[in-house]
Amino acid sequence: MAATPVWSVDPRTGKPREQVAVEATPAEVDRAVRAAHAARSALADRTVRAALLRTAAQLLDEAAGHVVEAADAETALGPTRLTGELARTTAQLRAFADVVDEGAFLDIRIDHEDGTKTPPWPDMRRYKIPLGVVAVYAASNFPLAFSVPGGDTASALAAGCPVVVKAHPDHPATSELCVSVLRRAAAQVGLPEDVVILLHGFDAGIELVRHPLVAAAGFTGSVRGGRALFDAAAARPAPIPFHGELGSLNPVVITPAAAEERAEQIGAGLAGSMTLGAGQFCTKPGFVLAPQGPSGDRLLKSLTAALSDTDPGVMLDHRMRDAFVEGVRERAGLPDTEAPVTPGAGGDHTVSAGFLTVPARLLAAQGAHDLLLEECFGPVTVVARYGDPAEIGAVLSRLPGNLTATLQLSTEELAGDGDTGARLLAELTPLAGRVLVNGWPTGVAVAPAQHHGGPYPATTSTSTSVGATAVERWLRPVTYQSTPQALLPVELRDDNPAGLPRRVNDRQE
């Protein structure tokens, strides 16, 4: 059977640019996973792992011009956006190197033998070890930060896990360039290049998650694709953790007092957030609860003005563009749904931003408007206008899980006057992994306290894919009981030669 070619396509024209690779066969997937599996022991040294991450960041910075050029040619995201994304990517590689150096991610806990306990305690020592080969499924909308050199790869390597990446078909050339940099970094620090391997092809992605030597998987993409892989991971003879990010509405609640105080500012901010990256951010605010009345009208007027000044944008590929145009058409055709600024096709290869409005009461119970509570990928948001504040809770109770939820409050509400802020914050908290007040969700800081995840379908687990704790996804705890010092892993010995942070007899050292 002839190999299936993998083409790099220009989304601005829809025309192929070059053949980059061929899709991996089942035999090639097997060889790749076995090669990565064989590289596990080489990653045992934390010092070398940290060096790998820092060297990869340095080499990516040095190749920045080529990387940004390749990514822009395949995604049309623009050099400014991609330069920022590359900086974020290299910053998170260095951040995980710091995590490895510091060692707290090992979560070392030692309880010495204590015969006074009931029942008596034996000597027990616990820490975390790497799971094994991690399959990473690259995202379409972040060709760097959530793809080959992105957070899943960085955190897995930090944990000591080799990585096999399934490239996204929207940016295969960028993926090949980035994996070559990572493999060169591995060679420079004395590691086998096969600590990172790249594969192409839809069928290869299915074979990868089913491979018996793959120990866990990370995915960023659609509900349909992610759920298929999640189900395949669960259906294995030995199921594995599948950390998938699938889809999110990212609701925004605007109080009447906030709209009265700063309607124009909120409208402009919403427009900027929902159109960032042509509306293709996973944290795009796709659903808004805004008040009826004059202040709500002012807000929509501001949103209309801002969106009317937004140029048409190019989406990541024509399949996504067609899905956006059809999705908007279906939603706009629902009864009592209006389009003050009509989103949809902006040209043969572009889309125009816009928004839809609907009475919130129509969404408070299951009915014909349920489609408006599903994500539409692209530069559109749905504004549900409420007359009675009780409608807010009724609508929120029907929303699926989200990555983010945002609350826009007035100055007095921020100060705690009345119970509005606290009550709405309590209603939003069960819906999302990150709750914002008077901000906008597009923009995910790579910080230790960050949580980028949320209830299903936002993600398939309770873990984060951004921030220091993302490394926990690729580890499992193990306890050694009544084990002689000479046989213990060095991290668990009494003398603690590496000076690792640990908790001994329930006291932090």
CA dist 287 → 138, 165, 359 (Å): 26, 33, 13
Residue 181 and residue 454: Cα distance in Å, rounded?
A: 32
Residue 456 and residue 401: Cα distance in Å, rounded?
A: 5
Residue 412 phi, psi dihedral angles, 5° rounding = -65, -40
Closest CA to 69 of 8, 15, 22, 19: 8
Residue 439 and residue 447: Cα distance in Å, rounded?
A: 17
CB 10 within 8 A of CB 73: yes
Closest CA to 247 of 228, 225, 269, 229: 225
Calculated CA dihedral for residues 389, 390, 395, 401, nearest 10 degrees: 90
Give me the sheet containing 287-291, strands edge to edge. 338-341, 354-359, 380-386, 287-291, 251-254, 402-408, 432-437
Other beta carbons less than 10 A from residue 178's beta carbon:
32
Choose the catalytic residue: 74, 85, 245, 391. Answer: 245
Residue 348 and residue 380: Cα distance in Å, rounded?
A: 18
Residue with the two structure tokens 């940290």: 50
Q: Which residues contact 342 (CB under 8 A, 6 or more apart)?
A: 332, 352, 354
Choose the catalytic residue: 178, 282, 376, 491. Answer: 282
DSSP code of 152? H
SS3 state at 77 = coil
SS3 state at 197 = strand
Closest CA to 155 of 76, 243, 29, 71: 243
SS3 state at 390 = helix
Judged by phi (left if over 0) then psi (alpha if -120 to 50, else beta), residue 506 lies in: left
CB 193 within 8 A of CB 183: yes
Closest CA to 153 of 174, 141, 139: 139
Residue 115 and residue 342: Cα distance in Å, rounded?
A: 73
161 given a catalytic annotation:
no
* Alpha-carbon radius of gyration of the chain: 25
282 given a catalytic annotation:
yes
Residues annotated as catalytic (active site), given as ranges:
245, 282
